[in-house]
Structure 1
Amino acid sequence: MPDGRTDPVSALRRDLAAAYRLIALMGMDDGIYTHISARLPEGPGGERRFLLNPYGLRFDEVTAANLVTVDETGAVIEDPHGAGVNAAGFTIHSAVHMARHDAVCVLHTHTVAGVAVSSVKEGLLSLNQWSAQFHDRIAFHDYEGIALDLAERARIVADLGDRQVMLLRNHGTLLLGRSVAEAVKYAINLERSCKAQVAALSMGLSPVLLPDDVAEHTAGQYARMYDKMEQEGAPDPEWAAILRRVEAACPGYAD
């Protein structure tokens, strides 16, 4: 099991590979589509570089070693696997990374529950503790078609603002993390929130929404807990548990 006592780039590659594997383990992937990207330290000449999955590989085939290094346009810098990347798929990610330097990781999913909630006017409701984390903290971007138009990047960034969670209308979800760990935890909790909402509303009974003050209080509790880990370096037992799960299910992912 990797113990984290590695150089920052190796640790980032390991964490990103773990994120891909976990999303696959949880059934949150979409074949070879969607991406999780991570921002590398700038190159020796100030180059802005990112890690992305090789084109055509399923999430459960991604390893730390086969991740591709690309620049902000999606052009390949280093490609151990030799398949390149889906440059069009990097459109959303490049826009966010270039505008939001606090975003080490950008995670995009097309889950059934996430797409369902993104497809209703009300979006995510504060129905439970999971969804309360996102109370009044979700941005929205209207669907414009498959994200091939680079001009859409400016609109994505404008709609996102300073938030870390976005519902891409009729499309899916977008999560930003100050670390891979934070982005993954947002993704897990948002997926649970969306699943719970779909389940609750399908019963035909009357949903009970949390009062705004209670939902806001809960969101603040989550935010303070995450800040302690991201800003103060407090231990993150949840991420450690996630890494143990991935290692048990997918030995060799960090190679």
Structure 2
Amino acid sequence: MAVHPVRAASPTARPAPRQPLDPRQEDDDKFFDPTDLSFIKKLAAIGDSYAAGIGAGDRLGDLLGALDPTSDWACSRYDHAYPYLINNDRRLGDPSGRNFQFRACSGAVTQDVLENQIPSVDSGQQVVLLSIGGNNAELLHVLNQCVFQWGVLNGEQVALAKTAATVDKEYQWAKDVDWDSLGRGCNAQLNRTESIINSDAFSSNIDKVLDAAKAKLANDGMFYHTGYGKFFDSPNEKLKAAAERAGNKVKFVDYDSYMANFGAAIANPA
């Protein structure tokens, strides 16, 4: 009787390990392919004008959406904003197969992100991009007083404007204008901004945003917190420290170094 050798059973094929979102871990380096990020199907961007990309490329949306404060047009979101470019990067595959929630809004402060943006983002995000803190530290006033001088007044003009807003009915609308900020001067504004950044309240507000946003992450999700550029790099150390306090799900991105290398333009809140 012929004896036929019995073949050993083929081992059950194991599915390829899922691509990690954070290639920093040594074990992940064995299979992480940075040229193929098509596994990212949920991506969100929150924060201020640095994430919204004000002035970078073409403005998204149309004037009809101006009355909706959360619309692309009202938030001054642009198609060369870094989150928009990331979503359309070929390494992430076809963007039509990805849920991209672009919630960043020019002029936003931490309270806006906490109350309006984060609640509107779906849970289970694989990647969340954030830029926040500049408006809390009055970057717009710094740009006005020290760079562009859109509206700069002297002390006498400030006093006159405040008086007119109080006693003249035709100027009642001016009661809500922050006239003091228009007459502060560059050095005084820089000192004020530095004081805000170094306050406990500033760090606490950033911590609250990071904690709330982390709750929107998937188990293997990552949160990328972008710093500010070379012109306004004062908050970066505080933002980096907040990212470190938030744990290994949050990575601080030193935008300043990229600006130095590529000569990027300033994005000013509006």
Is the pair's TM-score, using the shorter chain for normalization, greater than 0.5?
A: no
TM-score (norm 2): 0.23
Mark the structure with the bigger radius of gyration. 2
Q: What is the TM-score normalised by the length of structure 1?
A: 0.24
